[in-house]
Structure 1
Amino acid sequence: MNLSELYADHVATLQGHTAALLERLGYAGMVIYSGTATGIFLDDHALPFYANPHFKHWLPLPRHQHGFLLIRPGKRPQLFYHSPVDFWHLSDGAPGGFWTDPFDIAEFADPVEVQSALGDTPGLAFVGEDAALAQRWGFTAINPEPLLHELNWLRGYKSGYELACLREASQLAVAGHRAAEQCFRDGGSEFDIHLAYLAASGQRENELPYGNIIAIDQHAAVLHYQHLDRRHPASPDAFLIDAGAEVRGYCADITRTYAARPGLFAELVAAMDEVQRRLVASASVGASFVELHQRTHQAVALLLQLFEIVDLAPESLVETGITRSFYPHGLGHLLGIQVHDVGGQVADPQGTPLPPPDEHPFLRLTRPLEAGMVLTVEPGLYFIDTLLAGLRHHPQAKAVNWERVEQLRPCGGIRIEDNLALHPDHTENLTRDAFANS
């Protein structure tokens, strides 16, 4: 099917699920508000705007402000599309394109027009950030938790249209990753690499799904490193890039790590790549992601032993918690409209909490893996000063080969991340497919 057909099916599916949900919860309908940009304190500029993710679930309008979507059982969805009279900024223009057919669209210049068109609101639920606006308009059910839990759960299963968007996002991101690696090998600074990524992926900085992590050497030991060094490193050892792309509101989230030259760190990167591939092969329908995360610690423990970083049996490295000093984060998360998509730590559509194990508090995905899910698999191994300082006081600190740690510490760390789509009979690797076709 072409994109228009996939999208029509996507909206029809959403309409069916949402109608049943609204009737079950006793609502006459639901209004989803895209939101508006937040102004900067004491300034006439605004922060970058990103639409309410539930709005983006229905509409490929990730930067459209003041949009209102009215959904009622048995009726076509109605979009109130903001077309302001403005000579300061360029408006989004008249609604048009493949996405318009499933909707009744009414253009408006002032939100007061929408308030009048909605009429009485007590039977309608409001989903959006601006609770004050909802209260002024008479809504009494504002972001009701039972409704949000159900909507968040539903977002865990991707339609054919959503998968098409995610594949395109992977292709854009991979184009950026290719250019970034080349820029690094040509001697570029982190800032240079970032610009090369933007140019190759065709994105402005505000269009990225998250801030690029462009980390040379020890900066790779900062998991969410947020700066861009302008200096050109004289002789870098390593490069970690965690960068994505967005297509019609859907995100890619890809990480790769490169050694500057052959040697110990390059061998460790290659070994981690093999670990990651095995984990990907095990990430299939019915698997427990919690168990996969625990297996990752076993694999990291084996690498620590094989590379003579810690002289303990892998079982002891896991049991004593030493692996958490080298691998402190979770194995992955749901991916979709948001990079860290919602609904990953609940047991059912009612939002019953399904927290991670106490010893792995940063694991974002605890639901069993099901067909239709899209997720990341991103094991890592790092040399983080603060965690290493704590490790020096561990009862087994003498088992650590601190000379080897100091040899690898300038390289920062390793993370390798792919995006997977789970199908009933196979797992699709969106990331490696995009690399293979680039």
Structure 2
Amino acid sequence: MAARRNPNPNPPEPQLPMPEAFKNRIQEIAESEGKNIDEQSVVFVMEKQLSPSDVKSAQNRLFIAPLKNEFLDADEDEFLEQFQGKNKNSKPVWIIDPDRDRSSVTLKRWSTGTSPDRLLYVFCNEWKRIAKKNNLQNTDVVRLWAVRVGLDRELWFALDKLPTNDPPPPRAKGNLLNTSSIIRQKRESDQKNSEIELEAKMKKNTEIELEANTEKNSEIELEADMKKNSEIELEADIKMKNSEIEFEADIKMNSEIVLDVKIANLKYQLGRELPKELVNKMKEIERGEVDESKILVIRKSLSSYDLDPSCDIFFIPGKEMLNDNFLEHDEKALLDTIPQSSAYVPVELIDMNLLSYSVRLERHHNSGYMVTEGWDGVKYSNSHQLEKGQILELWAVRVENRLWFVLRDVTKKW
């Protein structure tokens, strides 16, 4: 077993305690699953001002530069250093976000080319959803703690966002704060909280005195005004709701019209009438309707490999496929022929703008399949611009026993 790294041999630094609200929330969830939080295992990981890349949806990751690597045990540390294929191992963990909701994220070790030994980690996969849900901005300051839960010592994290009226923390290398800065900020925060509590008590006492001196007639008038305002607000809400329903109906109708125009253009491009069954399936896919006659093969984010000018390939990795039953038995047998480079299934591919391309489906030499001999036409189409990170769905449909592929852009929905 590899020895646990300890890049900072100095004596332990004072811990910034996890807020009670987070500890109580973690204990509440843990108890509902028959577990308990180990409060002695709480570790303050870092405090940082979020960078633009931390909240950029296309990046989908939060950089973690800990004060020290005290939140991983030796086995976890060794596991995250090892590789699975070309990528380093990853570990699913729980995180309690600033809204006190629990989500599952993936923890990975991150090595930079210039400083391969520097301690850097990332949260990925679900991070962009958490950032959007909590409205995290690159001006926000966050704090991160780690804690162990249950007999299996599951690794959980708590992410807190500091109030926006607090001044931003001083910058240090890697967005870290030194110990004296943390202690000073905690002292200032405690003092500010005391002042806020005092103001709140004074305000409450004043309100109580004012209410005691208010005459009954004023209360009746106030209730009447509140009732009238509530009725006005209710009427406004009803009107707004009706407008939203009408607006959604208009959008749906316009989408149907646009789709019909695109299908008409596709008929002209192919020089023949499209089978009615295919047209109906394409419309259902565009609306997100699913049945057994349409198979969602893969939903993937375009990689540099898919957009490489030197490769006419759209890669369908076997481990990312959502369904591998889109091929007939004889087609699978054909693609498994040795050598695989000589075997292919002809497919008609329709892209997100309903342009048609004749392509080949072949076995990939590693695993899965690849669309080739025509993918360049999709990649360099004048009607759209494919970009790295764009999320596409590839659907397979059968019409008169012929295999068709339909591409759908779902980037904005994910």
Which range, TM-score by smaller chain? Answer: under 0.3
Length-normalised TM-score, structure 2: 0.25
More strand, by proportion: 2
The higher-RCO structure (CA 8 Å, 6+ apart) is 1
Bigger Cα Rg? 2
Length-normalised TM-score, structure 1: 0.24
